[in-house]
Each structure stands twice: as structure tokens, then as C-alpha cells.
Structure 1
Amino acid sequence: MNVCKIFALHVLILLCLTLCCNHINAARIIGFFPTPSKSHTLIHAAIADSLARAGHNVTVIGISKNVYPNAKYKFIEIKLTEAAESHQNVLQNMVKKPKSFYFNLFNFVYSFANTANRTLSHPKMKDFLRRHGAGAFDLVLLGFAANDFAMGLGAHFGCPTIISFVVQPVSSINRLVGNPSESAYVPSWFSELKAPLTFWGRVLSFLVAFYEEWIVLPIVKINMLKIYNYNFPSDRYPPLDEVRKNVSLIFTNHHFSQGPIRPNVPNLIEIGGIQIKEKPDPLPTDIAKVLDESKEGVIYFSLGSNIKGSHLNEEKIKIMFNVISKLPYKVLWKWSPTELPGESKNIIFRDWLPQDDILAHPNVKLFITHGGMGSVVESQYHGVPMVGIPLFGDQPSNMVNVERSGYGLAVDYLTLSEESLNNAIQDVLNNPKYKEAVQTFSRLYRDRPMTPRETVVYWVDYVLRHKGAKHMQSPAVHMNRWQLLSLDVIGFLLAIVLTISVVIVKVCKLICCRGRKNKLPKVEKAKKN
């Protein structure tokens, strides 16, 4: 009996020591996600939840309802009704008046920057910052989208900053960690170009990179600086350029298997598919029943978390409904019940559907999507072929890559007709090449040494262990663009070459002049004789 008591006591002591160690190693992390886009927040919040489940003390500040109600982090909501409505208006204009992404780029930037600025200046946020000063947190996790100025939070709390970005690196992200652009073989995410590039592809890629680096970024930087100086005045905080150098790590929701193949600096970490659950959650009973009993297959249709029925043209909605209502399959359609386009026995409308869990079901035959990166990645991960109706932003570029890779087809929203939509759906449903291609990629995409969540936890712990991990930072972060392009070096060498050339020319002229003077007397004597 005494032996049992001693054993139980030892177990209790060991358990207490374990709990104490976990408590000691737990870091205080603040997540700041001032994005009006739910799809963006899903990525950022998945990182925060992974860290919270690993034992860290994580607090998340967001401007919309918590996207993960069962998350382990503490959630603080800052309501910005006007900013949300403004963002919806921007989306509606982009859908109803489609333009190239580059024409809408500044609208995107303004919308995201304005929302982040309102979040920082909100009374609830200001009160939070007053109550939590330097030393209150060990790490800032920033959901990045045209909000460089929010990196001032790292200066406020006196701790490193880690960036979460929702797609592959773009110019603004590359600049933060000194990641090389390499436009000759790494096309911009927005350009709809796919590697390997042809000569004309490289020409276009160069022009796009030039536009982003030398026109967009300088204009955006001026706006960022104004907002930063307003929220983080110079009498208390360091300059924005210095704050930008405090970025320890960037998590990008991308994986090299998606392409393009490119070099990355050590502190740019790929975590493509972080929002995808390794084990799907149980589906709602009614949805599970539909999927389980539909042995012939089910189609899932969603235009994402941002698009509402009011954003779309009524004629286009009618076209979609007419085609989908005639399909010999059950269709789960994410659509507001107040904006139903009609009624059909084969369509089940829901205001919200657990997309990741539905796509994981083996009976899903097709995903009709808007082509947002999060949706495309989830479809690729679960091996479900796609038909895309891209509307704005990165969606056209994403669907171009889907088509070229053989994972599905895209139909143009502006010229959408019942014939074009039905032909695309029938082709993807009946031609096995699309399913085979996306399922082959799914196996490739999943084959990694660590899951995205494990990767996040490891690298955040690494940054914390090494006090910001400054040794991972590229020297390029501390260089200006002229130095990165070696223009100062080239100018110096050209000056040397020019100086030497001038000296040589003058010496030659001097020698020639002396030679002529020496010849003159002889010529004159010859004339006299």
C-alpha cells in the first residue's frame, strides 16, 4: 500500500513539474488581424490557434466575429460597421465593373489600409494599448494586407513581429525580408503568367515587376508613413523604416509544389494549407446525410465569404441557377436565404457551409468556386476538380493556373452563358483527366516533413528561443534599392573607367602634340634646302 502511495506521489510531482515547464515556456502572443475579409482571417487565425494549442498564451484582436469559435486563443472583437460596409462597396464595384487587378490595386490597398487604421484608432484598441505597454507581450503576429504601419505594435510592446500573408510572396512581402524578386523566371502572382516564361513572358514579367517595385510600392509607402506617424508619433516610437526591420519571420500561405519554383530567404516560411484541418470535423447532421446517401456524387458551390447575391448581376445569377437546377446531382449551394434565385429539388441552399469539411467528403464530385486562393488550395488538398467563375482580385490568375495545371476549367463572368457554364461543368464531371490531375497533385501537396501547423509552432518557438532570430535576417533588409541593384557600384566603376579613358586620351593627345613639334624643324629645313 505504501509503495502505491509513493508511486502516486511521484506521478503527481512529475505532472506538476510538466505543467510548470509548459507554463514557463509559454509565450504571450498578440495577434492583430484588422482585415475585413473573412477568408484572410481564416488563415491568420489558424496560425494563432495552432500556437494556442501548443501551449502559448495567445490573444487575437479582430474586426469581425471569431472565425474559429472553438479556438484556444482569447478573442477580442472590435466592431467597425462603417469600414465593413465600405469594403463591401469596393467589392461590389469590382464585380459589377470588372477591370484588370492592377487597375483595382489601389482600391484594394485603400480599403485594407483604411480598415486597419480605423482599428488602431478605435477607442477599444487605444484602451488596450494603454493598459498593455512594453513587455506585455513576447511576440506580435500581424495579419498583413496593406498595413505596414501596424508593425508599430512591435515597437509598442518591445517585441519581435511575425507576419502572416495569405498567398505567395509579392513585392511588398519580399522587401520586408530581402527576398529576391527574380522576375526573369518568377512571374508576379497577379500577372496570370506561368513559369517557365517565354521571351515575351519575360518582357511582361519585367514590366509588371517594375510597375510594382517602382510605382506601386513608393505610392503605398507614402500612405503607410502618414498613417504610421498618426498612430505611432515620432516622440515615442522609432521611424517606420526601422520598425519594418523588426520582422523576424514571414509565414506565407503557399507551397513550392504550387509553383513557381523560386529562392526564398531562411525567414520566409511556406505554410500552404494552414487553414485545412488534418482531421475533418463532423458535418452537420442534415449535410452529412445528403453526402452519405448521394452515392452518385454531390456538387459543392460557393463564391466565397466576401461575395453576396447583391454584388452580382441578376441575369448572371439566373444563368447559374438554370444550369445548376438541371444537373442530375444534389448541389450544396452557399447562398443567403434572403436572396434565393429560385427553388429546385436538387439544390440545398445554406447561408453557411463548412467548406473544408465538405470538400474532405469522398462523395464530392465537383467544386464550383469563385477561385479565391483559400478555396483553390482546399480543393487541391482534397483532390476535388473545379469549375471557376472568377470575379476580381487574384481569382482570374488563380483559375488560369488551375486550368493550365489540368485541375479544372474557368468560365468568364462577363460573358457567362448557360451554354458556357454547362459545358464546363459537364466536361469536368465526365472527363476523368481533371480528377486524376488534381488527386495526383493532392498527394504531392500533402507530402511534407511537417504539417503546416507543426511548421508554425516550430518556427515561432525558434524565434522566441533566439530572441527574434536576427541571425536569419538577410543583409538586403538594411540596403536601399540603389544598393541592391549595385547602381552605386556600377556608377563608381563607370566613373573609374571614364576617368582612365579621359587620362589615356589626354596622354595620347599630349604625345601626339610633342611628336608634331619635334617634326616641325626638320620639315622647315627640308623646305629651305
Structure 2
Amino acid sequence: MARVVLVLAVLALLIAVVHGGGGAATARTGPARILVAMPWNNYSHMQVVYPVVRALCARGHEVVLLSRVPMPPPLPANFKFVQLDFNSPAQQYGFEIGRLQQISAPFRDAYNILALGLDHCQLLLGQEPVQRLLQGGPGGAPAERFDLVITELFFTDCYVALAHRLGAPHLFVNSGPLPPWGYARFGVPSNPAHVAAFSLPVTDDMPFAARLQNAALWAANAALYHLWFAPREQAVVDALVPAGTPPLARLLPDAAMLLLNTHPALSPARPLPPNVVEVGGLHIAPEQALPQDLEQFVSGAKDGVILFSLGSMIRASSLPKENAAALLRGFGALKQRVVWKWEDEAPGPVPKNVRLSKWLPQFDVLCHNNTRLFIGHGGLLSTSEAAHCGVPLLGIAMYGDQRTNLAAVAKAGAGRSLPYSTLKNADLFLKNVKDLLEDPSFQQSATALSERFRDRPMSPLDTAVYWTEYVIRHKGAPHLRGAARNLTWYQEALLDVFAVVFLCLAAALYVAWTVVRTLLRLVMRVGCSLTGACDQKAAPKKKKQ
């Protein structure tokens, strides 16, 4: 009998663990209908969203992707793609390095992306598939039923109007960190004393000069957003969205959740409310075997391999030909083999230890046990991959958050950041390459960074899926939203409270001074009346004859 009771107790415990404590893998949500509206067609942005879409479909949800870029096959049966038609040659074919150097600077980066986001809102909200959803059905009902709308909060605030018109909770999935005004939508404090402004090469540990520069850029970017961008974006929404839709400033703080492709191992730690969840490395999948010819080249390098890739958006082949040829000659003098993502014809004779390729499985090469160094532009996805694989990074920032990302890697001791001009000095560039290869501290720091980046209770994808379904289960999860998201800047800084306290103290001091002065005068008058001194003092002097 005791054995039977013991067996039943064990079975009950197993059932409780399986059904009550399994986290994302067991917290099931009934089939939901989810709209994923992605305004940007950059591969780096879509690369973060695709795994979430596939995972949600695998869990039985119906997902409608509204985008300019089709999701690569295989496509799930419960998936639907709605094509948006908007051509952007710069985004489709990659940025030219020379052009980037002309237009890229910390303040100008924010302006350029805000202006591009404004164009996106104007062009995409006017497209027929979006207008059909915005206009709604008969009697003001939503055009279609959705249980959740997923978009990206990346300089396109206007898409929150779409979620409002559909009457569905709104969740953001972001490929990278947000500018300060983005965090403010969720009540996240952003102090320029320790939080880097968009695109500055600083970390959270800033000396006075860096804090001064950071605060100035912070104020300039905030003014640019609130005084220039926000009114223009609201005007676009007013023109293209039916009347009665609340202002964007009122809709944005009501977003259910923000999933950020960041991680404390790479991004400075900061206080986050429960509806802001870090899922850094969301795009990272298990590494795959390399194509046979590439595998032979990489594994056959007895001194290791260097990967040189500027990502999906920057054309390395736009580097001046004479500079690229000098780099080729320099690479030829190295003991290591070099795999270089190059989109055009070779700029010169290709050494035997160098392989040029128009396309590379970057992550799989990075995680190959023979890879010794990664030369990249410092994009967050590439930086996360290097951190995951434990490979030192030599970064050449081109624009945007790349400067901040590389500053974090350098602070961790896992790499070094160089200005773009270094690419024009092959000797100096190759000296830095050799420094990172020959100094073991860089590899040791990269290995430690990888351990910190990987050590988490759930995978980034499982975390993202769990919280997405959590929002669906709890009808937008309003209990996770903090009241700080609705505070104005002066309320958050308690300036209104300080002003009232100051006025009260000033009034109290004034009243006290008035009372004291009145009492003093009264005492003096009483004293004068008793002694007569005041009358004698006030008596006029007789003139001398």
C-alpha cells in the first residue's frame, strides 16, 4: 500500500511540473490571430522577426505578415503574407561607404533616420492593404479580427494607429536599442549622465567631457524628435487615418510590451519595467555546417581564419579600389586565412589565403572553432553573434548605434573600435589586426563575454514567444504597465512638486518676514510711546539766528 501511495505521489508531482512549471515550453495559449506589420525591409530588422513568426505558427497561431519583404521558405500552412509595395534602392541594395561617410555623424544620424521614418509612414499608411485595415468594417467594426498586432518601434510610431483601429493589443519587437524618447513610452528612466545618446561611441561609464557631449546630443535629439518629427508624423496620421483616432502621444504609452534585442552582457544594465523584456540574440539559431568548399577553406587554416564582413546593408565593394587592393596585399602577408564578404569583382590580385564571397553564412563561420577574429561594422546583430560565438571583434563603425555597440565590446575587453579612416591606411589597419590576434587577453575576454551572453534560463526565442502569448492570454496585460509611462518630463523629474514646495517655502518666508517686521515696528512704537524718545528724535531742530 505504501508503494502505491509513493507511486501516485511521484506521478502527481510529475504532472504538476509538466503542467505548472514548464515555462514557455508548456504555457499554452489557444490559437490566436496575429498581425505582424513591419515597415522596414532591412534584412537585419526582418531577421529578428522571422524566428518569432515561425515559432508562433508552430504553436498553432495564425500569423499575417504585412511587409515589403517576403519571408523565406519553407512557409507554415497557417501563415499569410501581404505584400507592401515601396521601393528604396539604398535599403534594397546596400549603402555605399563613401556616401555614408558624407552623411553620417551622431546628430545627423538621428535626423536621417527620422526623416526616413517619416517617409515610411506617409508611403506605407497610404497603401491599399493598410488602408483597408485602417478604414474598418461596417458600423465602425474592425476590418478583420486580430488578437495581437506586432510592429517595430523604430522611428515609425505611426503604426500604433493601426493596432488601435483593429482594437487589438500592441506589442513591439525591436531589432536594437531605442532612442531615449522610445524608452520613455514605457516609463524607462534615461539619464544622460550614464545612458548613451543615439550613435555616440560611449558606454555608461563616462568622464565629464563625454557626459557633456552626451547631454548636448541628448537635448538636441530630443528637440529634433518632439519639435520636428512628432508634429509631422501626427499630421501624416491625421491625413491617412480615419477621424476619431487618438493622438500618437496618447496611443504609444498604451503598448502592451516591448521585446528588445539587447542583453546586459553587451548593453549597459538599466532598470526596466516588467513589460520591457530583453531577448538579445533573438535572431540566433543553432549553427549549421558550412558549404563543403567553404568548410575546406576554413578548417584547413592551421593558423585560424579571419572573417571580414560589413553586414547586409553596407557594400564593402564600395570601398575605394586602391584601399581595397592595399588591404588584399596586407591580408596576403598574414599567416591566417581571410574570408571577406565582397559583392563585386576583386579589386586586385587575390592572395591564396584570401577568399572573396558575395554571400556568407556569417554566423556559421563565426562559430566555427577555427575562427580567430571578426572584422565588422559593429551592427547589433553582428556584435551579438560575435559575443555568442566568443570571437574577438575589430569594429569599423559606419553609422547609427554601431559606435555605441563597439564601445561596449571594447569596454568588455573583447575587441577594439577603429575609425573608418583606418581602412585607408592598410599598415595601421593590419597592425590592429595583429594586435588582436597576438594578444591572448582579447580571446580570453571574448570567451568570458560569450559565457555571460549565453547564460540565461530560457533561450531568447522561447522568452519572446512566452511573453507574446502572455500578452494574448491576459488581454494586453495592462497590469504590467507602470504609471511612469504617462508622466511628462517635468513630472518625472518632480519639477512641478519642487516648484510648489519652493513657492510654499517662499510664501511662508514672506509671511514670516512680514509678521516679524510688523511685530518689530509695533514693539518700537510701544517703546517710543513709553519713553518719549521717538517724539524727541522726531522734534525739528531750531534754526540758529
Could you say which TM-score interval applies, normalised by the shorter chain? 0.7 to 0.9
- For 1:185, the aligned partner's letter is H
In the aligned structure 2, how far is the partner of 1:144 from the partner of 1:366? 33
Once residues 231 and 311 of structure 1 are traced to their aligned partners in structure 2, the CA distance between those partners, rounded to angstroms, is 39
Query: Equivalents in 1 of 2:517, 2:428: separation in Å?
Result: 77
Name 2:444's counterpart in structure 1.
436
The letter for the 2-side match of 1:228 is V
Matches within 5 A, 1:88-237: 94-97=99-102, 99-127=104-132, 133-188=142-197, 190-235=199-244, 237=245
SS in 2 for 1:177: coil
Shift of 1:327: 2.9
Flag the 1:120–1:205 CA change in 2: closer, same or farther, 3 A: same
Partner Cα separation in structure 1 for residue 101 and residue 209 of structure 2 = 31
Q: Displacement, 1:523? A: 1.4
1:131–1:480 CA distance, 2 compared to 1 (3 A) = closer
Are 1:75 and 2:81 an aligned pair? yes
Match of 1:274 in 2: 282
Asked if the contact 1:300–1:367 (Cα under 8 Å) also holds between the matched residues in 2, the reply is yes
Where does residue 248 of structure 2 map in the other structure?
A: 240
Residues 365 and 510 of structure 1, relative CA distance in 2, 3 Å threshold = same
Other structure's SS at 2:375 match: strand
Distance 1:30-1:364 versus aligned 2 partners, 3 A rule: same
Matching residue of 2:40: 35
Kindly provide the amino acid, as one letter, of the partner of residue 80 in structure 1.
F
Give secondary structure in 1 for the equivalent of 2:171.
Answer: strand
For 2:384, the equivalent position in structure 1 comes to 377
Distance 1:141 1:257 in 2: 26
Conserved? CA contact 1:410–1:424, under 8 Å: no
Normalised TM-score (structure 2):
0.85
User: For structure 1, which runs of at least 5 residues remain unmatched after alignment?
Assistant: 1-20
> Residues 75, 342 of structure 1: CA spacing in aligned structure 2 closer, same or farther, 3 A cutoff?
farther
Deviation of 1:358 (Å): 1.9
Whether the 8 Å contact between 2:117 and 2:155 is mirrored in structure 1 is yes
Cα RMSD after superposing both structures:
2.8
How do 1:441-480 residues align onto structure 2 when only pairs under 5 Å count? 441-480=449-488
Are the aligned partners of 1:303 and 1:370 in contact in 2 as well (CA < 8 Å)?
Answer: yes
Native 8 Å contact 2:387 2:446 kept in 1:
yes
Match of 1:408 in 2: 415
> 1:95·1:311 contact (CA, 8 Å) conserved in 2?
no
**Match for 1:61 among 42, 66, 70?**
66
Alpha carbons 1:116, 1:147 under 8 Å: kept: yes
Q: Which runs of 5+ in 2 are unaligned?
A: 1-25, 540-545
Higher alpha-carbon Rg: 2
- Alpha-carbon distance in 1 for matches of 2:117, 2:348: 31
Structure-1 separation of matches of 2:68 and 2:166? 21
TM-score, length-scaled by structure 1: 0.87
Give matches, 1:253-402, under 5 Å: 253-277=261-285, 279-309=286-316, 311-338=318-345, 342-402=349-409
Q: For residue 402 of structure 2, what is the amino acid of its counterpart? A: Q
Question: Following the alignment from structure 1 to structure 2, what is the Cα–Cα distance between the partners of residues 213 and 48?
Answer: 33
Structure 1 pair 368/127, CA: closer, same or farther in 2 (3 Å)? same
Secondary structure of 1:365's match? strand
The size of the alignment, in residue pairs, is 504
Question: Judging changes above 3 Å, is the alpha-carbon distance between structure 1 residues 199 and 462 closer, same or farther for their aligned structure 2 residues?
Answer: same
The residue identity in structure 2 corresponding to 1:244 is L
Q: Partners of 1:474 and 1:144 in 2: how far apart? A: 18
Per-residue deviation at 1:106? 0.3
Does structure 1 retain, via aligned residues, the 8 Å contact 2:388–2:450?
yes
SS in 1 for 2:189: coil
Mark the CA change 1:64 to 1:317 in structure 2 (over 3 Å): closer, same or farther.
Answer: farther
Tell me if the contact between 1:299 and 1:332 (Cα under 8 Å) persists in the aligned partners: yes
